[in-house]
Structure 1
Amino acid sequence: MDRLRGGGQMDGNDSGSARAALVAALDVVGLAPSERLDRIVRIAREVFDVPFSYVNLLDDTLLHTLTPNVAGEPTSGPLEWSFCQLTVQRPGPTVVPDTLADARTAVLPGVTSRGIRFYAGVPLTMPGELTIGSLCLMDVRPRQFTPQDEAALIDLGRWTEQTLAKGLQHDRLLEVVEALAPPPVHVPGYALAGLSVPYGDLSGDVHDWTVADDAVTVTLADIMGKEQPAALLAAGLRAALRQHEDLPPVAAVGAVEPRISEDLSRASAFATLFHARLTPSTGRLDFVDAGHGLVVHLHADGTSEIRRSRDLPLGLHPEGVPFRLGTLVLEPGDALIVASDGVLDLGDGTIDTLTDIGRTFRRAPNTAAFLETVRLRAAEHAEDDVTVTVLARDDG
């Protein structure tokens, strides 16, 4: 197995949950080796004349080999013990002609105890350009690797990806992604609820919230695209923001933006985002609106105000430019409705649809009834994912 302690890092925690969810959905870790995958590594050993070849998957912290080469060989180990941590950091092959001569690998236990002197690996990706593992070669002697060798390894990697994708259990993936929906929470003096209605089986929208003693964090994001690729990117964005839920919105979005933008760029996508932090005692809501602009503030006196975006979406926002802070106050009797752009299909397709959604909320007997109305209208009219989050303050 590729258990070689190293000093590199995997691609961070920002997309770890999305990757772990997809690895779980593949449902192959811990099972008997697949003949289809064993065939690939047998051919790899023969083509490149190496003693070892592995197909590896990785989750948040562990690397799992699906193709042990030796009877009784461990099949799981810490990711930081592996060459795979280097391979997943770049899109192309990672080649180490002499592991003792490379500072990244010279101190790995696999080098010092197993005698591994050569490594070559190629990352394995799934729809949405999410890297989930590697196909790798190892030898006990240093060797050169030509451009033709790299091209052949890439071809074997694509074959491996196709083999894994054929085994993807769609129902399992659906369950995992749906499990990322936030659970109901109780915030004294407020009602907080939401729903997401996917256009297909999986949604590229994500809504989330977390509650602490002195703050409530509310998030709604919309990934360009639909179905599995967008859903995986949405899950990664949710996980990244949860890593920084204790930070103010500008700092939190600024912290996750570089890595998320890389993921979005690889998938030729972008994400609009509304990320806010409420102080319940005062009703003050600080927020970042990155290209979202689908927020309506309903005032207790019957008026409403549409809050427009102040920054570009993630993936399009200029590098190094800080996000701008927005602020509003939810007075007693006020409500805030945040929606994805699919909600525009429920009206005339213009921003005025938000005002109509606000009227629907005011007429509804309660938040649950309002959300059920949105659900029914989305099922009938929407041509995109529809997500709505409501944050309402009691009359007091």
Structure 2
Amino acid sequence: MDRSETVAALRVLFDALQAGRMAEALERLGEIPDAAVMPDLWLACVQGAVMTARTDDDLDLYTGAIEAAERALEILRGPENAMRVGMIERYAGEAMHALARHDNDIEELRTAIDHYDRSLNGLTGEELRIERAEAFFRRGCALNDIAHHEDDPRYSERAIASWDQALPLVSKKDEPRLFVKVCTELGQAHARLSMFDDDDERLDKAIGVLEQALTVQRGPDVARPLAEARMALGAALLRRGKQRDNDEDLNRATAMLEAAANGFERRDSNWSAAQNNLAVAHLVRAEGRDDPEPLRAAVAAFKRAQSIRSPKTDPRNWINTQRNIGAALMTLAERIGDLATAEESVVALELAENEAPELQPGALDAIRESLAAARTLATRLKRAADRPE
């Protein structure tokens, strides 16, 4: 490529960048000799590609961004490029992290963490505070993914350490969305680890961190992160309330989970998860009480959770929720002595039985046992109803 061709290609590249056509920008970048590309242009291409891929969930664009980052990192040397290298490594880490999650690839996760680690060497100074916080936050998320993948609490501890470094860098006032997300991940990790070692103090710490997340000023940009924080806080309060038989925690958990469900759009998968968690909270509140209202509320919440699921789109959650609907209806029917409710529980469990061989064969015996109990209850209530006064 001669000089005039290089200049023409650079013009096309600039036009594509300005128009946000990142796939085209990366394609043009691949045609231009490395020496002709200005350092800031490497950063603009990698950063723009990753941000666009994040919005569009474009795996090909993530791959292109990684390839461009690898080229850039080969030629950008010296202290004058430290910041650019740090930024490029941070975005390369995000791109690799996205691919790792899609591919469920543990080695790609480790590569993403390596990118984040190297990025932190160049992201120094107050002007790069947020970029440094983002790198620590995303590094923690990648470590947490490995913790889940390998069921290894040591990676959870490393994730917590990374989020602990991110949190002081984030202003609750100026970066509320990131603040909420860091607090939520940090609180959830402490809550999970508290189950490994039955650590009440760590559960208390988790609840305290999650409560911090809710102190930000509300706004449309933080609506979904706040709903996620409420869902996590509700789950932690529910656990503590059940462990300590604390009605205040149980009532707070129920209110928090209800607020969380209202914070998600109905088509959001977290909406059904929040409804399911709310139902569980009502079931816990119903234990040892004669009042049937918590049971009715649990059934209603389970049904709402199930309303956007199907055996095909979400088989595991569908079958579990269907079983829960049947079991909750059976408990309610027994408590209030209502034949119609008992018959509804039979129908719900029959539906679960029909789908179980394909969706969850290991649960079939338990479903049939519950179904037999529901039929026995319905028969008993019918006989009682038919018995003359």
| Structure with the largest fraction of helix | 2
TM-score when normalising by structure 1: 0.27
If asked which structure has higher relative contact order (CA below 8 Å, sep 6+), I would say 1
